Homo-oligomer: A and B are copies of this chain.
Amino acid sequence: MTTTQEEDRLNAQIAFAVEIDKLKRVIRRNSLMDGSRRENDAEHSWYVGLLAMILAEHAPQGTDIQRVVAMLLVHDLVEIDAGDTFVYDPVAVAAQIDAERAAADRIFALLPSDQAVLFRELWEEFEARETVEARFAKALDRFAPILANHHTEGGTWPLFKVTAGQVREKVKIIEDGSESLGVYANELIDLSVSRGHLSE
């Protein structure tokens, strides 16, 4: 920090860093894998970012995994203002779009303007699901709660009256990002149904 301009940049970066700490208090619908409590958005973001590294070979060849990781680390920041949306509630999902856009306008603008553009682009790319990177990122975002619910005897599926048909509908997004993870997710659902942890 030698000039005022550099100080301003760092101060903006720190203001953003302080703001995003709030993601640790946004609670999701699924539980931890031991069922002890519901998961928050920050630890979920860590989990799916690392999942991208672990499951990289299940992305189409040529996928830029580091961009997938970056996308997953920022993908839920808008929920600081907009809150978590239950993917099985279509009315809430529709209402969420404007709320998330307004949140993106406010939150990313805390950064120095060049960085605000880059971070927002990552989020927009994730949401648009047009690149292989965004498709794989979105697949992991859907895959993680299915894995968690499967490992907690259905977890929050019965609590929120989610059916196997609804979960299978979400698996289409997994199949779209990763063929092999799509197959695996469908196997988990069949297994959860046969064990009586998920209703048809």
Which residues on A are within 8 Å of B, measured CB to CB? 1, 6, 9-10, 13-14, 16-18, 20-25, 32-34, 36, 39-40, 42-43, 45-47, 49-51, 53-55, 57-58, 66, 69-70, 73-74, 111, 115, 119, 147-148, 151, 180, 183-184
Known contacts A43-B43, A49-B73: A25-B34 contact under CB 8 Å:
yes
A12 closest partner in B (C-beta):
B54
- A49 proximity list for chain B (CB < 8 A): 46, 49, 73
B73 pairs with A70, CB closer than 8 A: no
Interface of A is mostly: helix
* CA of A55 to CA of B115, assembled, Å: 10
Known contacts A46-B45, A54-B17, A111-B54: A10-B184 contact under CB 8 Å:
yes
A64 closest partner in B (C-beta):
B66
* CA of A57 to CA of B10, assembled, Å: 10
B43 pairs with A24, CB closer than 8 A: yes
B17 pairs with A147, CB closer than 8 A: yes
- A55 proximity list for chain B (CB < 8 A): 13, 17
5 residue pairs from A and B, CB less than 8 Å apart: A1-B180, A17-B147, A24-B43, A25-B34, A49-B73
| A178 CB, min distance to chain B CBs, angstroms | 11
A16 closest partner in B (C-beta):
B54
- A13 proximity list for chain B (CB < 8 A): 54-55
- A40 proximity list for chain B (CB < 8 A): 43
A180 pairs with B10, CB closer than 8 A: yes
A21 closest partner in B (C-beta):
B33
* CA of A17 to CA of B188, assembled, Å: 15
A115 closest partner in B (C-beta):
B54
* CA of A150 to CA of B86, assembled, Å: 35
